């Protein structure tokens, strides 16, 4: 399963290949490029907010454009394509099939991403990644908004095509000797998250189409001046994007299920409970979308139903955490870089989940609504859990993909700096929200507490940015000059533990 990086091939052979490892590599490189692009915008935002007043960004319109593209890039162009990279590379190997079920469709799904990214970046829209009407209909300047809408629609089609491919590959192409219950938990994570995509994305695709026709003036679905209802857009948006949060996090949890047993040198504590928790999360993900909308005038009964639906995710999430801890218990743990990222991700997952309970509870949500608390919670979830699981798995897959080892010391420095930076940025933003600072602001009054906490958050962001430079150097240098890895046991753990890795997965003919 080692990619032939030791035997360089012309780039066009990889670009136009339909083999799952080549497509996975294209997803990987593309997603990492967008990670650094979106991260650079985050640093610009934090630099601007270091002091009150205008610092490096000229005006609020430019600021809004930057944080819109920042959010859209890191969610749709980094996290989802990164998960697709891992799934493309490993799912066929895990289910012991020669390729994805539809290799050409798989390549087409990938090649939709670069033009989508180009539309989003060239448009540089200013209406946040929510594109909430009526602003996105009446005031958002075209063609920036229209380019964003088209970019998101193409990404949605790409996601649905990829999801169908994963579902068919896992359910129909797995080896006949492998029962569905024996399928590794990482593959299960792609199966359940793909099913969420297939159900949820068409709703947002319809909402985008309605938004576009509203902008063209041929309809008024969300335009109050034409009798439309902006709240209807919010329902359609969150019906897709609350489940989408689980689309983002479930593969990251699946990656942790690969790392933690391997580095604890024990089998997973309960394979079946991991499957059950994935299925349960995929179901309850659709029962909680309106908890984002408590302040929009819903009745008490409606809010209570959605509060209960949101809290239903807690036991399913806790099952995963319990499974991880029980697996590590009495294990011979080796804290190599992938394990450090996974354990750090679990700790931050617990913290972000505790903040999520606050957002789900009606009385507390009204206190924190649209404040920096929400920014801290969401980013702690995305950066602290999803990115930590993903980056940990990137280190884990590095020797399998390149045939070489990364620099372990640089990997550990990357983790420590990222963990410290993440705590400084996003824990501080929680407190900043409790002090009443609203989110999505270009400037803020010179309140001493606000200034201090914004500076702490900005310093944390700079620490994360520096760590990512170390990460980039490590990846580039080690993939070319790193020590040759023993791909049977690259981390010296002393054996193969869970499912038999194929030494080779023949290219599709």
- The pLDDT of residue 499 is 47
Distance CA(85)–CA(349), nearest Å, equals 22
Q: List, in sequence order, the alpha helices (H) in 361-406.
A: 362-368, 372-379, 388-402
- Token duo for residue 48: 């601007």
- The pLDDT of residue 1 is 47
Is the N-terminal amide bond of 134 cis, ω within 30° of 0?
A: yes
Q: Are 88 and 23 in contact (CB under 8 A)?
A: yes
User: SS3 of 438, please?
Assistant: strand
pTM above threshold 0.85: yes
Q: Are 336 and 263 in contact (CB under 8 A)?
A: yes
Query: Would you put residue 422 in left (φ > 0), alpha (ψ -120 to 50) or beta?
Result: alpha
- Token duo for residue 472: 């980039």
Measured in whole angstroms, how far is the alpha carbon of residue 279 from the centre of its chain? 19
Q: Are 136 and 145 in contact (CB under 8 A)?
A: yes
Burial class (CB in 10 A: 0-12, 13-18, 19+), 192: buried
- The pLDDT of residue 203 is 94
- Token duo for residue 412: 């550990």
Q: Could you identify the residue written with the tokens 């609020």?
A: 60
Query: Would you put residue 227 in left (φ > 0), alpha (ψ -120 to 50) or beta?
Result: left
- Token duo for residue 356: 């999520």
Distance CA(321)–CA(301), nearest Å, equals 31
- Token duo for residue 306: 């959605």
Question: Comparing C-alpha atoms, which of 307, 256, 315, 254 is closest to residue 281?
Answer: 315
The pLDDT tens digits along the chain (509 residues) read: 445 455 667 788 888 899 999 999 999 999 999 999 999 999 999 999 999 999 899 899 999 999 999 999 999 999 999 999 999 999 999 999 999 999 999 999 999 999 999 999 999 999 988 898 999 998 888 899 999 999 999 999 999 999 999 999 999 999 999 999 999 999 999 999 999 999 999 999 999 999 999 999 999 999 999 999 999 999 999 999 988 889 999 999 999 999 999 999 988 999 999 999 999 999 988 888 888 888 888 888 888 888 888 888 888 899 999 999 999 999 999 999 999 999 999 999 989 888 888 888 888 888 888 899 999 999 999 999 999 999 999 999 999 888 899 999 999 999 999 999 999 999 999 999 999 999 989 999 999 999 999 999 999 999 999 999 999 999 999 998 999 988 888 898 876 544 444 444 444 43
- The pLDDT of residue 7 is 63
Q: Are 184 and 251 in contact (CB under 8 A)?
A: no
Question: Comparing C-alpha atoms, which of 133, 129, 343 is closest to residue 256?
Answer: 343
Distance CA(90)–CA(3), nearest Å, equals 12
Q: What is the maximal distance between C-alpha atoms in the chain?
A: 68
Q: Which residues of 283-307 are buried (b: 16+ CB within 10 A; e: fewer)?
A: bbbbbbbbbbbbeeebeeeebebbb
Contacts of 10 (CB under 8 A, 6+ apart): none
Distance CA(408)–CA(414), nearest Å, equals 10
Residue 7, phi then psi, degrees to nearest 5: -120, 85
Q: Which long-range contacts link 11-16 to residues 24+ away (Cβ below 8 Å)? A: 16/107
Residue 371, phi then psi, degrees to nearest 5: -105, 180
- The pLDDT of residue 386 is 94
């Amino acid at each position: 399963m080692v990619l032939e990086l030791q035997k360089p091939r012309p780039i066009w052979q990889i670009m136009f290949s339909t083999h799952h490892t080549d497509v996975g590599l294209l997803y990987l490189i593309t997603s990492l490029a967008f990670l650094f692009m979106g991260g650079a915008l985050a640093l610009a935002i934090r630099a601007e907010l270091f002091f009150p007043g205008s610092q490096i960004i000229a005006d609020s319109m430019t600021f809004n454009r930057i944080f819109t593209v920042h959010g859209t890039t890191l969610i749709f162009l980094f996290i989802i394509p990164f998960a697709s990279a891992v799934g493309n590379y490993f799912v066929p190997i895990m289910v012991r099939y020669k390729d994805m079920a539809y290799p050409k469709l798989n390549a087409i799904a990938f090649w939709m991403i670069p033009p989508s990214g180009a539309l989003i970046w060239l448009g540089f829209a200013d209406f946040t990644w929510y594109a909430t009407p009526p602003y996105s209909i009446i005031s958002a300047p075209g063609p920036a908004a229209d380019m964003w809408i088209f970019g998101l629609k193409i990404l949605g089609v790409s996601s649905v095509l990829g999801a169908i491919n994963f579902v068919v590959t896992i359910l129909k192409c797995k080896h006949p000797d492998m029962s569905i219950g024996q399928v590794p938990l990482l593959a299960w994570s792609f199966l359940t998250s793909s099913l969420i995509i297939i159900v949820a994305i068409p709703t947002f695709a319809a909402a985008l189409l309605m938004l576009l026709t509203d902008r063209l003036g041929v309809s008024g679905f969300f335009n109050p001046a034409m009798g439309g209802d902006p709240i209807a857009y919010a329902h359609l948006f969150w019906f897709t994007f609350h489940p989408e949060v689980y689309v983002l996090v479930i593969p990251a949890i699946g990656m942790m299920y690969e790392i933690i047993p391997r580095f604890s040198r024990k089998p997973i504590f309960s394979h079946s409970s991991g499957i059950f928790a994935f299925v349960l999360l995929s179901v309850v993900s659709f029962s909680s979308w309106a908890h984002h909308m408590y302040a929009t005038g819903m009745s008490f009964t409606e809010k209570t139903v959605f509060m209960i639906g949101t809290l239903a995710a807690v036991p399913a999430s806790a099952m995963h955490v319990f499974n991880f801890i029980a697996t590590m218990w009495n294990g011979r743990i080796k804290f190599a870089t992938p394990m450090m990222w996974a354990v750090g991700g679990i700790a931050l997952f617990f913290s972000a989940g505790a903040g999520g309970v606050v957002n789900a509870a009606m009385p507390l949500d009204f206190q924190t609504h649209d404040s920096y608390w929400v920014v801290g919670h969401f980013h702690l979830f995305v950066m602290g859990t999803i990115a930590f699981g993903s980056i940990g798995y990137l280190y884990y897959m590095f020797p399998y993909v390149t045939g070489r080892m990364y620099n372990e010391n640089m990997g550990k420095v990357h983790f420590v700096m990222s963990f410290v930076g993440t705590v400084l940025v996003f824990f501080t933003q929680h407190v900043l929200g409790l002090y009443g600072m609203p989110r999505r602001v270009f400037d803020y009054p010179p309140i001493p507490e606000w200034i201090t906490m914004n500076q702490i958050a900005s310093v944390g962001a700079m620490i994360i940015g520096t760590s990512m430079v170390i990460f980039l150097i490590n990846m580039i240098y080690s993939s070319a000059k790193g020590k040759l890895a023993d791909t049977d046991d690259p981390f010296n753990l002393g054996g193969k533990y869970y499912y038999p890795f194929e030494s080779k997965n023949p290219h599709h003919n």
